[in-house]
């Protein structure tokens, strides 16, 4: 798909598939970062392998250049649906960012401190300038709890949690069937959900949040300032 067509589809649908986009070398690095945990979430420290896989010359960043040439990674989260950690998440938006430290800045609210990291909800303008990618380390379909997305729902803006299901059902629903190495790129405000896995076949996904924006001082992005990654339960941050 040509660059402009790709950007047009992304603006309209709020998502783009980049099939088989991750090199074997970078997949190995992401495998190493994700580890073999069967928990829903755990903290990961930054590693040389992870930093290499997210460098400007990595296969992921090269694939994203036509969509967001100035975007930088600001958070990484890993999910692994397994027999010991099998969950479902109702329709929702992810409106939380990770920052280096808490600060009293207008428009930044709903502060929480989880796993040693400060999180908050930023103004809508910040969220609209963000995207997140899901790097599939295992094949994914409806049987092992693949994510569902409401195509184009980013256009609804900020949606109250109580209204999320009703709003999502006014848009076409897509089940995110993927093969290992496929990448799904999503607008940050896209409504999404997932069901528990029916078959325990492995469902490892790395999610990386990207932004082209700078936060107002003294706030700064948690990943860029600490170069650390977090794994959290999908029910908190999918």
- Give the mean pLDDT per block of 10 residues along the chain (238 residues): 83 96 92 66 54 81 88 86 72 96 98 92 97 94 88 98 98 97 97 84 84 96 60 41
**pLDDT value of residue 28:** 92
Residue 151, CA distances (Å) to 147, 167, 192 in order: 12, 11, 9
**pLDDT value of residue 48:** 66
Is the residue at 232 inside a domain?
A: no
Is the residue at 13 inside a domain?
A: yes
Phi-psi region of 14 (alpha: psi -120 to 50; beta: other; left: phi over 0): left
The answer to whether residues 86 and 145 touch, using CB atoms and an 8 Å cutoff, is yes
**pLDDT value of residue 232:** 39
**pLDDT value of residue 231:** 37
Between CA 214 and CA 221 the distance in angstroms is 8
Q: How many domains does the chain have?
A: 1
Could you list the residue range(s) of the whole structural domain that residue 132 is in? Answer: 3-226
The answer to whether residues 73 and 46 touch, using CB atoms and an 8 Å cutoff, is no
The answer to whether residues 145 and 81 touch, using CB atoms and an 8 Å cutoff, is yes
Which residues lie closer than 8 Å to 166 by C-beta, 6 or more apart? Answer: none
The residue count for the chain: 238
**pLDDT value of residue 202:** 66
Is the residue at 206 inside a domain?
A: yes
Is the residue at 39 inside a domain?
A: yes
**pLDDT value of residue 233:** 37
Is the residue at 231 inside a domain?
A: no
Q: What is the CATH number of the domain that holds 50?
A: 2.60.120.620
Is the residue at 235 inside a domain?
A: no
What's the chain look like in SS3?
CCHHHHHHHHHHHCEEEECCCCCHHHHHHHHHHHCCCCCCCCCECCCHHHHHHCCCCCHHHHHHCCCCCCCEEEEEEEEEECCCCCCCEEEECCCCEEECCCCCCCCCEEEEEECCEEEEECCHHHHHCEEEEEEECCCECHHHCCEEEECCHHHHCCCCHHHHHHHHCCCCEEECCECCCCEEEEECCCCEEECCCCCCCCEEEEEEEEECCCCCCCCCEHHHHHCCECCCCCCCCC
Is the residue at 106 inside a domain?
A: yes
Is the residue at 36 inside a domain?
A: yes
């Amino acid at each position: 798909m040509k660059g402009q067509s790709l950007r047009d589809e992304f603006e309209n649908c709020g998502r783009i598939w980049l099939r088989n986009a991750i090199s074997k070398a970078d997949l190995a690095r992401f495998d190493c970062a994700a580890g073999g945990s069967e928990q829903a979430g755990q903290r990961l420290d930054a590693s040389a392998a992870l930093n290499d896989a997210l460098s400007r010359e990595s296969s992921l960043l090269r694939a994203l250049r036509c969509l967001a040439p100035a975007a930088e990674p600001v958070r990484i989260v890993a999910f692994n649906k397994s027999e010991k950690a099998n969950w479902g998440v109702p329709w929702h938006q992810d409106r939380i960012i990770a920052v280096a430290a808490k600060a009293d800045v207008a428009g930044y609210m709903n502060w929480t401190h989880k796993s040693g990291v400060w999180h908050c909800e930023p103004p809508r303008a910040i969220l609209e300038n963000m995207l997140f990618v899901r790097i599939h380390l295992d094949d994914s379909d409806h049987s092992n709890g693949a994510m569902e997305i409401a195509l184009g729902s980013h256009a609804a803006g900020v949606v109250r949690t109580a209204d999320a299901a009703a709003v999502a059902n006014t848009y076409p629903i897509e089940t995110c069937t993927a093969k290992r190495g496929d990448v799904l790129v999503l607008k940050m405000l896209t409504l999404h959900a997932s069901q528990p896995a029916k078959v325990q076949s492995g469902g490892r996904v790395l999610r990386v949040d990207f932004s082209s924006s700078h936060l107002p001082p003294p706030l700064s992005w948690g990943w860029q300032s600490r170069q650390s990654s977090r794994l959290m339960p999908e029910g908190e941050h999918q």
